[in-house]
Amino acid sequence: MFEYLPRRTGFPAVPPEPPEDEAWGEIQHRVDLQKRTFDGIHYSLTGWIGVHSTIDSAPARTNDDRFVKNKYYNPAQLRVYVRGKLASDRLLTQLGLTGTYTNYIEGELSFDILDDDTLEDIATSNRQDFDETDGRVTLLRALVRPIVRSLIQRRQAIATVIAEELRREKTRRDTASKRQFADQLQADLDQHPEIAQTTRDELHMVITNKVQGEIALKQDYRIFISHSRADRPFASFIDEVLRFRGANDDEIFYTSREGSTEFSLDDRALGTLIKQNITDANTLIFYMTSKNFMGSQYCLFEGGAGWATRGVSEYLKLNMDYSSIPAFLTNGRSEVTLLSGDEIVLTPEVHNYLIDGVFNPMIVHLNRGREIVD
């Protein structure tokens, strides 16, 4: 409640002296602030006024699930009650304040002197507002406007701080992202010993210098599990191990996950989503190849997209058998396979490959993203 009380931390107190308000001169001779009287009649202004951190519905509801904003209800209002009934919801617009954060103000006030029996009836003909020229309405504005102005100034000050923090965070992320790019570039160049070391060093310097400007690097690090739905148990196994090690659901994408997009999207939408996960984020692709993989148009699409955007060494694979690996995903190099005859055999070689060739590279990749975000 806003009463004539000592200042409380975080709230602007109603001043004991005449408010610095442009309307005050019109009614100052009719008001005694110490006795809180208008034309000798006692008045009391009670209620609350606050400023929203945001009025965007989604983040606002995350902060407070009671937040409502739709075509029927606008939270940017100061509602005035008289004797317990809503008398006006237009006070905020009558204060004459402008600026972005005026729309972030909300409050409910009680000011019964607007309908005092000993004073003139100032309600409009439709009984939904009051005569704005009456001294009591002027008094209400003079009392409320400094409070609202103070809240707007505080919200603006917070916005300035947030903007600076966002700028610093963007700079930090860009720096971390470019450092990760430089490290990955060095690793890629090291895979080409046929190029002279001095040439590789020069290439590294030239390319990294090119991204020191405003080039936006991908900062979302994800794992994309490309597989046939028939091989879903293997994809779920990879997913569960990674999440057990601390990965988040949104860092791992595979279409056969329960409740995933494959159950709700049409083929065109699913194809677009797969393309986005392969090309838009900094995504490490893992291929679960099998005869089912070879028979799926989506798997071949995913394999082709990975081949077109990455070198052979830039994606991971787990193969059922060698004959089921698309040629463009192996380039004839040696491969580890799970099937021995008709059975899956967990040999020491396969075990070590799962650790060193699948899980650890995935974890390293996601941790690179954590270094940028954290």
pLDDT tens track for 303-323: 655 555 554 456 788 888 877
- Domain check: are 182 and 247 in the same one? no
- Domain check: are 243 and 333 in the same one? yes
% of the chain surpassing 70 pLDDT: 72
Residue 267 has pLDDT above 80, yes or no: no
- Domain check: are 345 and 286 in the same one? yes
User: According to the model, what pLDDT value does residue 108 have?
Assistant: 93
- Domain check: are 88 and 202 in the same one? no
User: According to the model, what pLDDT value does residue 263 have?
Assistant: 43
Pairing of strands 78-82, 105-110: parallel
User: According to the model, what pLDDT value does residue 107 have?
Assistant: 92
- Domain check: are 227 and 93 in the same one? no
Residue 17 lies in a domain: no
pLDDT average, residue stretch 345-349: 82
Quote the distance between the C-alpha of residue 212 and its chain's center.
26
Residue 348 has pLDDT above 50, yes or no: yes
Residue 109 has pLDDT above 90, yes or no: yes
- Domain check: are 285 and 326 in the same one? yes
Count of domains in the chain? Answer: 3
Indicate the burial class of 7 (C-beta count within 10 angstroms; 0-12, 13-18, 19 or more): exposed
Confidence category of residue 79, pLDDT binned at 50, 70, 90: very high
- Domain check: are 252 and 347 in the same one? yes
CA 116/CA 240 separation, integer angstroms: 69
Of 159, 185, 201, the residue at which a domain comes to its end is 159
pLDDT average, residue stretch 99-127: 85
Residue 312 lies in a domain: yes
Residue 352 lies in a domain: yes
pLDDT average, residue stretch 73-91: 88
- Domain check: are 184 and 235 in the same one? no
pLDDT in tens, 123-160: 766 666 787 888 888 899 989 999 999 999 999 998 88
Tell me which of 128 and 97 has the higher pLDDT.
97
Residue 356 has pLDDT above 80, yes or no: yes
* Distant-in-sequence, close-in-space partners of 76: CB < 8 Å, separation ≥ 6: 55, 92, 102, 103, 104, 105, 106
Residue 303 lies in a domain: yes
Residue 3 lies in a domain: no
- Tell me what the pLDDT averaged over the chain comes to: 76
- Domain check: are 155 and 178 in the same one? no
User: According to the model, what pLDDT value does residue 6 have?
Assistant: 38
Domain of 276, CATH number, reads: 3.40.50.10140
- Domain check: are 153 and 188 in the same one? no
Residue 11 lies in a domain: no
The distance in angstroms from the start CA to the end CA of the chain is 41
User: According to the model, what pLDDT value does residue 221 have?
Assistant: 78
Residues counted in the chain: 374
**Which of 357, 242, 368, 169 minimizes the C-alpha distance to 250?**
242
User: According to the model, what pLDDT value does residue 331 have?
Assistant: 56
User: According to the model, what pLDDT value does residue 25 have?
Assistant: 78
% of the chain surpassing 90 pLDDT: 10
Give the global pTM: 0.50
The one-character DSSP state at 15 is P
Residue 232 lies in a domain: yes
- Domain check: are 284 and 357 in the same one? yes
Residue 13 lies in a domain: no
Q: Would you list the DSSP string of 310-358?
A: S-GGGSEEEES-GGGS-GGGTTT----BSEETTEE---HHHHHHIIIII
Confidence category of residue 47, pLDDT binned at 50, 70, 90: very high
Locus of tokens 């505080």: 154
User: According to the model, what pLDDT value does residue 1 have?
Assistant: 34
Instruction: Give residue 175's domain range.
Output: 162-210
User: According to the model, what pLDDT value does residue 366 have?
Assistant: 85
Of 140, 159, 178, the residue at which a domain comes to its end is 159
User: According to the model, what pLDDT value does residue 351 have?
Assistant: 86
- Domain check: are 236 and 362 in the same one? yes
Of 150, 181, 210, the residue at which a domain comes to its end is 210
